[in-house]
Structure 1
């Protein structure tokens, strides 16, 4: 976020307690395929397993939808991060068969469905 102004970092709070971090951004491509990415989501291990991650993702989807008036939200995840994959699938993300520049599987949330 310090190097690219397209990234927007945000804190994730439980009341007044900072429990996590997220980062998202809008990337306008030369083609018509501009994309909104939820690039980072971290919940402190002390607070994991309490539903805060799911709540945060749902809130971020709503925020990104309003902020960018987008139809899809993208994220990427490593194969071995099964907890994150389960969470994202439960919310409605699906794999689109693509990989990002780091070799992570790309998932998409379609706001039109």
Structure 2
């Protein structure tokens, strides 16, 4: 999805009604990852961790609420994810220090094992 980042029309992929369409995690995958896998959070190249139709999902924004409810984080608009190996990379996300904030931009850095 990151190859679309420089073109907002492609990135948001809106239909004729203006509804954006981009990939994301649904309730089933979010629940599985939050409860069955030893993860700290999830990340995506898209604008949100939920699929674009998350606002009209039932429940709304299932990944967002499932992950955050389980103490996991969500990283969005990551770059160069396609260049990471399928396993073995470590992501470091350094947030800004924001008093009383619920989120922050981060500088995301990937540590990749030597091949």
TM over 0.5, yes or no? no
Which of the pair has more CA radius of gyration?
A: 2
Structure with bigger strand share is: 1
TM-score, normalised with respect to structure 2: 0.29
TM-score, normalised with respect to structure 1: 0.30
